[in-house]
Structures are given as structure tokens and as C-alpha cells.
Amino acid sequence: MPIVAITALKTIGVYMQKFTGLEYLLIDIANNFGLDKEPWDKRIQWVKDNDKDLESFKNKADSPCMYAASVDALRAVQRGEPIGYGISLDATASGTQWLAILTGDKQAAELCNVINIGSRADSYTIVFNHMKEKCGNLGMVTRDQVKKAIMTSLYGSKAKPKELFPKAIEQFEETMSEMMPEVWELNKFLSGPAWNPTANEYTWVLPDNFHVHIKVKDLVEHTINFDSVDYKFYTKVQKPTDTGRSLGANLIHSLDGMIVREMVTRCNFGSEVQRVKDILNNSLMCRGTEEDNQMVNTLWNLYKETGFLSARILKYLYSDSIELINKEPIKKLVDSLPTKSFEILPIHDCFRILPNYGNDLRQQYINLMYEVSKSNLLNYLLKQIGIEATWIKPYDLSEAILNSEYALS
């Protein structure tokens, strides 16, 4: 694993663009039509330019039903009616995003909009163009093939990329190594040397105290005799295997899950946030249970180990338990939350909300990217699966992440 000096990145100097609820609705219409890879202003302007004819474009839209629903919502707004329509904001290649953040991979972070490069990057198209140059006359390569190969290879698959590029697998792997070097290095490590041939289970605990248990299973052959004929069948049983390629996928999927839980907790919070604010301001005295104190201790110890403070801790903080910990990180966490709670409907890395909360949603996602970048989460996870070596990030992405523009777009 790479051991190199950390380099801090300079930021572009502007923070996230903000939009009104109406503008987010226009962006949603453009996204549903198929313009989600365009800059924000072009999406908004396209809807304004075609306002009178939007209904006629339904059959040309990438998502016709979603497009029609979003246009109907706009018409209701134009009539002065309240709407309950939820816009969708989706992460751009979330698996690559979190791998880039964990490893400090500047190139990968630029590809998937973790870092603002001044435009909306399309990682699959950029990698596709790079690979096409490498392949030359080795055969036709399509963007869709490259997308499938990237997605599957970063989850440990070697078979799918070989199936897609039987004549150009070396060019694909070279492209990945050049375009996202740290991410690819971690991927190769988790798909090979990290595997423990004596383990029949992998377990780890995430900063929000979510416990992951992954059983190692292998096929076992059985024989049954029927009417003097032997028949073979196979069952999967829990047992160690010499090799395995599932560690990377399971680690990143578990992190994906934690991010969704944190997004919901930080956006759709309850009365606990006001309670913690009042306790911090010395305007409220209230005691929790012994179970509350135990959970605060657990989550705080996980924070000390990982450098990532889960917002779940707010649910268990009372006047007595808050004295067990350092209040400063709690103040920063509370201050970073939206001023008003709002409902959020996640589908993996796509988040659906009412249009008025678009700015808050995007800011919370940026906050989480920043906090994971500042954390020691990767080494903490590697240690739990039995890897004692240390991964040192070549770049400190944290300050540049604060200027992220299209991570959720």
C-alpha cells in the first residue's frame, strides 16, 4: 500500500451554488429529460426556454413518467397551488466517490465530482475516452461497456471486465490505474492480498455502531444415489476459502449504508437536536438512562478511533451523559445541521426531498464527504479485517471538498 506524503489541495474559492425551490424543480425536470450531465444553469435555462412546450417532450425524455410528473408539479406551482412533489438528487458514481475520499485519490475525486473542477464531470465518459485512445484497433469500445466494467471491477469482479473486453483487458486495467491510481491500488489489494484464507467470517463496526457480519461461504459437493444412479449437487456452507474478492464490495457497501443513515439522521431529525442545543446553552437540565450513557460512551469511543462522529449520538445525549465527553465536537455537529428538519426518502445514493430543501440536502452530503475525508476510517476498517499496514493518503481532499458542486446532481 502507498506510503507517501500528504499534499493539501487548493480550492477553487467558491462554495456550493444555492438555488430556490422553484429552480430545483426546473433542475429536476431537466434531469428527468436527460440533461443531468449539463451544468446547473443550462438545465434551468432549457426548461425556461421550452416552458410552453414541455408536455410535448415527454416521449423524448430519458424517464418519461418522472418527467411528466415533474412538469405537472411545475404547472401546479405556476397556478399558485402547493405541491407535495419530491425532487431527486443522485450521487455521481457514489462507489468511486467514497473510495476516492477514503484513499485521498485526487484524480478519482475530480472524475466523480467530489472536487469541483468548474464543470459537471462524467467519470464514465472521461474514462471511456481515455480507454478508446489506448485501444486503437483492438475493437469497438462503448461508454456503456466501460461503465459496467468500472462498476463491477471496483466491487472485485475480474470476470465481467474480461467478458466485456476480451481483447483489451490490459488496456482497461492500465486506464483504471492511470485515471484513479489510489482507488485502483486499494481495489487490487482488497481483491487479493487482503484475503485471509483461514477466516470463515469477516466482521467490523462502523462509526454509528452498526455491526457488519459477512460469512465466508464455499460450495460443497454432495452425491445422492437414486435408482442406482449417482447424482451430484452442491450447497453453500460457511467455511474458509483460499481466495475471495468480496471484501472491497462489502466494505464500500457498508459505508454506503452508513452514509444513507447519517443523511436521514442529519436531515430528518427530531426534538433531540433542540434538547442538545438547550443543554449546551445551559438552559435545560435533564437526565438520561444508563442505556443512554452506555451508547454515548460507545459512539464517542468509535469517534476517537475513527475520527468520524456519528449524528446518532445526539439521540442519547442528556445533561449527565454530555459531561462524559468533549462538548466542542458536539457543538460543531449541531451547528452544521439544517435549521429545519425535513423528510428525506433515500433509494441507495439517490435522495428525494421537497424542492425547498435542495440546498440543505446537498450541504449535508458535502459535510459527510468532508468528515469522512478528515477521518481515519479506511485504516480503522482495514485493521478490523486483520490488516495492520497503514494507508497514507497522498492528498488531503478535505478543504477542496467544501467547494464540491456536483457530487449530488
Dump pLDDT digits (tens) for 366-382. Answer: 999 999 999 999 999 99
Q: Distance between CA 136 and CA 114 in Å, rounded?
A: 31
How do the residues of the chain divide into helix, strand and coil, expressed in percent and rounded to 5? 50, 10, 35
Taking residues 41-59, what's their average pLDDT?
97
> Quick one: 227 exposed, middle or buried, by C-beta within 10 A (0-12, 13-18, 19+)?
exposed
pLDDT category at 7 given cuts 50, 70, 90 is low
- pLDDT given at position 141: 87
Q: What is the pLDDT of residues 114-172, one digit of tens each?
A: 999 999 999 999 999 999 888 876 668 899 999 999 999 998 899 999 999 998 999 99
- Give the residue extent of every domain in the chain: 102-190, 201-238, 249-346+365-389
Query: 18-36: buried (b, 16+ CB within 10 Å) or exposed (e) per residue?
Result: ebeeebbbbbbbbbbbebb
Q: What is the pLDDT of residues 379-392, one digit of tens each?
A: 999 999 999 878 99
Tell me if 100 sits within 8 A of 182, measured CB to CB: yes
Q: What is the pLDDT of residues 300-314, one digit of tens each?
A: 999 999 999 999 999
- Is the per-residue pLDDT at 4 higher than 80? no
Q: Distance between CA 265 and CA 135 in Å, rounded?
A: 46
H or E element in which residue 367 lies: helix 358-374
| 1 against 224, higher pLDDT | 224
- Is the per-residue pLDDT at 343 higher than 80? yes
pTM of the model: 0.93
Report DSSP letters for 186-218, one per residue: HHHHHTTTT--TT-SEEEEE-TT-PEEEEE-EE
**Mapping DSSP to helix (H, G, I), strand (E, B) and coil, where does residue 340 land?**
coil
| 387 against 13, higher pLDDT | 387
